[in-house]
Structure 1
């Protein structure tokens, strides 16, 4: 992470910790809510297809138990 960005974050945290004006705090909270991004909009088409396929598989009963999956992938864990 960029050191300048990190410093700005620290400066904001310090400023916010001393802030007593409730109206500014409410404005910041509203800004935070509007800035939340929908992760679905941020992922690639391939990732979306993979998730959709996983949901379809689950809906059709094509599932493996945790213990089966663990055995299958234990060499990579």
Structure 2
């Protein structure tokens, strides 16, 4: 049985806390697990930061693309 993805809704968090919460959640994420990020804007800059700091270690799939809510499934994958 598959465990549902954890939902991390940062819309009510103050901006300076959002990235810390997201990166802490990613750091604790086991390989082959994922969480769904819910945000009030396109988190594309976060994608670039994850890519720079964790190249090849994550997946990124938009589930909803605005205009008011963005949902992105972020997963951790094994590195070779």
Question: TM class, shorter-chain normalised?
Answer: under 0.3
The structure in which a higher percent of residues are helix is 1
Compare relative contact order (CA 8 Å, sep 6+) and give the higher one, 1 or 2: 2
TM-score (norm 1): 0.28
The structure in which a higher percent of residues are strand is 2
